[in-house]
């Protein structure tokens, strides 16, 4: 892979607007303004990161998380770009490419979660499991829907994935000028494709991180191939995808701990206890390490005491989070630059923290969040309620769209339910369904349901559920 093609500024619809001299922004800077002005981006302010429908102003939403990922991506892009310039002068890499990388990553951070449904990652699980329970039972004009679909069509629903939905949303569903969605640059689109495989190509046992999940739907295979062909990434991960993933991982793993502390799921002493074995391991195996997590936490606590702050424990935890983020940025930078040749050859199979000093800290933070937050009774209760909302909405919407756009007569309630779906999504369906056979149109109608549900905010999903059940 070569940077010249990887940083492709091509768009599905090329601009025919103002002369270039009238707009001094790069193509990737234009992407940024298209994103932040979109309704889909604004909806992230009312979508769950960890704690759904939380009343606290402190707790992160998908919007604030995405802004943090954008910031980390930008920083990593600057660090890595500078390293490539300094140590790989024969690669054809230019200072402008360094700037382009930072802008692409900044944009990618903003949209990496834009396709996720309400209620966070649990929403993805709930939709996936709805299809696993119900798709085998669905019939269409007396035939089992499963028998009408190709294997890839079926697997798209059984492996429903927010990452694939993000690509679909920005290329097809955000109808602004025409059917090309936000019409973003191919370099940016390729960066958000974390898993360049179809639903039938998933292989979590391959050992290669790119095969873990689905990256695109059957309905979006054409744009996937156009994008990856233009950038030259093909079936490989785009190099910037590794950086985006690292920015996302370090953002949510550190933020989950901070949010959990503020919500009372963990305390200063919990963090102290959890970090102790890691510090002992570092002292034993890497005594030269510059960042010793527990030692750093104690220093911030002592500084808080000296400063006379009201809550030295909170002071220590929050400052420790910032320090850990800086350390993990340096680890991800090292992970990319030390594996540069393999990443550019498409043969690097791990994430950027693999084999670095930060790997064990990242593992610990993820494990802590799972044990203290995601496995808590409070979260379980919320997830049961969220599942009830999503199951009901999926039941009613799928039933309503099954015979939409066919010659079959729809009952009155189904017509009413279809009317809830925005014209934007229905117009996108009609454009994509044009000239297709009945089986593929049915597949697209089921995608119309997931498109609509994924476009919902947490509050809207809850309110629609209440209104449809007469809970006014």
Q: What is the pLDDT of residue 316?
A: 95
Q: What is the pLDDT of residue 383?
A: 87
For residue 19, what is the DSSP state?
Answer: -
The sign of the dihedral angle between the CA atoms of 360, 361, 364, 365 is negative
pLDDT digit string (tens) for 110-125?
A: 999 999 999 988 999 9
Are the CB atoms for 167 and 423 separated by under 8 Å? no
Q: What is the pLDDT of residue 13?
A: 76
Q: What is the pLDDT of residue 263?
A: 87
Two tokens, residue 13: 């619809």
pLDDT digit string (tens) for 182-218?
A: 889 999 999 999 999 999 999 999 999 999 999 999 9
Two tokens, residue 337: 């630059």
Q: State what percent of residues in the chain have pLDDT above 90.
A: 75
CA gap 138, 398 in Å, rounded: 9
Residue 268's CB is within 10 A of a number of other CB atoms, namely 19
382: helix, coil or strand? helix
Are the CB atoms for 77 and 99 separated by under 8 Å? no
Residues 6+ apart with CB under 8 A from 395: 134
Q: What is the pLDDT of residue 56?
A: 56
Are the CB atoms for 203 and 211 separated by under 8 Å? yes
- Encode 282-301: b = buried (16+ Cβ within 10 Å), e = exposed: beeeeeeeebbbbebbbebb
> If we measure between CA atoms, which residue out of 101, 106, 95 comes closest to residue 66?
106
Q: What is the pLDDT of residue 446?
A: 97
Q: What is the pLDDT of residue 290?
A: 78
Q: What is the pLDDT of residue 88?
A: 75
Two tokens, residue 175: 């109808």
pLDDT tens per residue across all 472 residues of the chain: 999 999 999 998 776 555 555 677 888 989 999 999 888 889 988 887 666 555 555 567 889 999 999 999 999 999 999 999 988 755 688 999 999 999 999 999 999 999 999 998 899 999 999 999 999 999 999 999 999 999 999 999 999 999 999 999 999 987 655 667 788 999 999 999 999 999 999 999 999 999 999 999 999 999 999 999 999 999 999 999 999 999 999 999 999 999 899 889 999 999 999 999 998 888 887 777 778 899 999 999 999 999 999 999 999 999 999 999 999 999 999 999 999 999 999 999 999 999 998 999 999 999 999 999 888 888 888 889 999 999 999 999 999 999 999 989 989 999 999 999 999 899 999 999 999 999 999 999 999 999 999 999 999 999 999 999 988 6
Q: What is the pLDDT of residue 208?
A: 95
Residue 174's CB is within 10 A of a number of other CB atoms, namely 23
Are the CB atoms for 320 and 274 separated by under 8 Å? no
Q: What is the pLDDT of residue 52?
A: 55
Two tokens, residue 468: 């449809």
């Amino acid at each position: 892979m070569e940077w010249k093609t990887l940083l492709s500024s091509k768009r599905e619809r090329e601009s025919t607007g103002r002369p270039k001299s009238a707009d001094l922004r790069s193509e990737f800077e234009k992407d940024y303004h298209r994103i932040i002005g979109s309704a889909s981006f604004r909806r992230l302010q009312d979508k769950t990161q960890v704690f759904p429908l939380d009343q606290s102003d402190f707790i992160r939403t998908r919007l604030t998380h995405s802004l943090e990922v954008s910031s980390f991506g930008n920083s990593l892009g600057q660090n890595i770009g500078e390293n490539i310039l300094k140590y790989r002068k024969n690669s054809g890499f230019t200072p402008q490419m360094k700037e382009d990388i930072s802008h692409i990553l900044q944009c990618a951070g903003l949209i990496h979660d834009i396709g996720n449904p309400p209620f966070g990652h649990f929403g993805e699980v709930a939709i996936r499991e709805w299809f696993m329970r119900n798709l085998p039972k669905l019939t269409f004009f007396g035939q089992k829907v499963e028998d009408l679909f190709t294997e890839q069509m079926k697997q798209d629903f059984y492996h429903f994935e927010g990452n694939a939905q993000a690509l679909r949303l920005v290329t097809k569903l955000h109808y602004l000028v025409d059917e090309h969605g936000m019409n973003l640059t191919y370099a940016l689109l390729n960066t958000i494709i974390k898993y360049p495989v179809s639903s039938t190509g998933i292989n979590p046992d391959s050992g290669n991180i790119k095969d873990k999940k689905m990256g695109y739907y059957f309905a979006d295979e054409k744009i996937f191939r156009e994008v990856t062909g233009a950038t030259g990434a093909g079936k490989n991960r785009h190099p910037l995808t590794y950086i985006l993933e690292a920015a996302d991982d370090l953002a949510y793993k550190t933020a989950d701990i901070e949010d959990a502390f503020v919500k009372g799921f963990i305390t200063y002493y919990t963090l102290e206890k959890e970090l102790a074995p890691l510090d002992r391991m570092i002292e034993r195996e890497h005594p030269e390490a510059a960042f010793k997590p527990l030692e750093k936490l104690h220093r911030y606590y002592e500084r808080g005491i000296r400063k006379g702050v009201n809550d030295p424990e909170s002071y220590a935890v929050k400052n420790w989070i910032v320090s850990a983020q800086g350390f993990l940025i340096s680890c991800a930078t090292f992970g990319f630059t030390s594996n540069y040749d393999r990443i550019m050859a498409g043969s690097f199979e791990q994430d950027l923290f693999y084999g670095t000093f930060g790997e064990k800290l990242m593992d610990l933070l993820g494990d802590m969040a799972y044990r203290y937050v995601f496995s808590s009774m409070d979260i379980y209760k919320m997830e049961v309620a969220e599942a009830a909302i999503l199951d009901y909405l999926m039941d009613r919407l799928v039933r309503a769209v099954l015979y939409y756009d066919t010659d079959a007569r729809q009952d009155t309630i189904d017509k009413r339910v279809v009317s809830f779906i925005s014209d934007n999504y229905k117009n996108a369906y009609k454009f994509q369904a044009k000239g297709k056979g009945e089986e593929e149109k049915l597949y697209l109608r089921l995608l119309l349901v997931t498109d609509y549900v994924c476009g919902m905010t947490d509050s809207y999903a809850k309110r629609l559920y209440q209104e449809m059940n007469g809970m006014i």
